[in-house]
Amino acid sequence: MTKTFTQNDLIRYLYHETSATETTEINKALICDSELQEQFKELTTTKSQLDTVRLQPSVASVRNILSYARGLQEKH
């Protein structure tokens, strides 16, 4: 009987959070199931894109924080 894997299972597998048994089962399923392979490929691509994202606060946010900090210094 072939086990059906969810997207959550694939994400856990991608991040090495599956048990040894689950990892073996997913490996076997990836060899046989082209649809599962495609889902995994998409998740892998998404993960690599997320790993390259650099988030920065807006200039307005930085100004607000600095202004607030200056206000605190003036009170002391």
The predicted pLDDT at position 69 comes to 93
Nearest to 44 by CA among 12, 14, 9: 14
The predicted pLDDT at position 74 comes to 78
User: In the chain, what are the domain boundaries?
Assistant: 7-75
The predicted pLDDT at position 54 comes to 82
How confident is the model over 29-69, as pLDDT tens digits?
999 999 999 999 999 999 999 988 888 999 999 999 999 99
Nearest to 42 by CA among 11, 2, 4: 11
The predicted pLDDT at position 33 comes to 95
Cα–Cα distance measured from residue 64 to residue 72, given in angstroms and rounded to the nearest whole number = 12
* SS3 label, residue 53: coil
Entry pTM: 0.67
